[in-house]
């Protein structure tokens, strides 16, 4: 039969408990750091989303002014040369910023479609 040393067992239990507390404290701190970082990133995204909405609103206000000018001068809403130039310029920017060209192209075409709706 094996005999246990009560002092040693208590000491081991105490160390295990301290380790347990330390690990939980560490995990708690890591979780708090994670939560703070996540909240910070989300706040930045929220700000950017509002800026995008504001910029799109300004853009469509200007598109409306372009529409009035085109209408007064009997110019078609779609100016193919202008659209192709704009795409070419933006492709350069997309490549410099290393953004997803296909996604940005889709977004840009959608913005353009809305612009054409305003101009018609």
Q: 67 and 24 in one domain? A: yes
How many alpha carbons lie under 13 Å from residue 61 in its C-beta half-sphere?
Answer: 6
Contact between 88 and 105 (Cβ < 8 Å): no
Average pLDDT over all residues of the chain:
84
Q: 63 and 80 in one domain? A: no
- pLDDT exceeds cutoff 80 at 3: no
Mean pLDDT of 49-65: 94
Contact between 90 and 104 (Cβ < 8 Å): yes
* Owning domain of residue 105: 76-120
Q: 57 and 12 in one domain? A: yes
Q: 106 and 59 in one domain? A: no
Q: 39 and 80 in one domain? A: no
């Amino acid at each position: 039969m094996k005999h246990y040393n009560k002092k040693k067992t208590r000491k081991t239990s105490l160390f295990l408990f301290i380790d347990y507390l330390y690990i939980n404290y560490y995990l708690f701190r890591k979780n708090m750091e994670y939560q703070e970082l996540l909240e910070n990133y989300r706040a930045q995204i929220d700000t950017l989303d509002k800026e995008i909405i504001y910029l799109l609103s300004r853009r469509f206000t200007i598109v409306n002014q372009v529409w009035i000018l085109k209408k007064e001068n009997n110019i078609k809403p779609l100016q193919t040369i202008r659209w192709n130039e704009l795409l070419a310029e933006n492709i350069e920017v997309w490549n410099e910023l290393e953004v997803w060209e296909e996604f940005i192209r889709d977004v840009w075409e959608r913005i353009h479609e809305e612009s054409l709706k305003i101009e018609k």
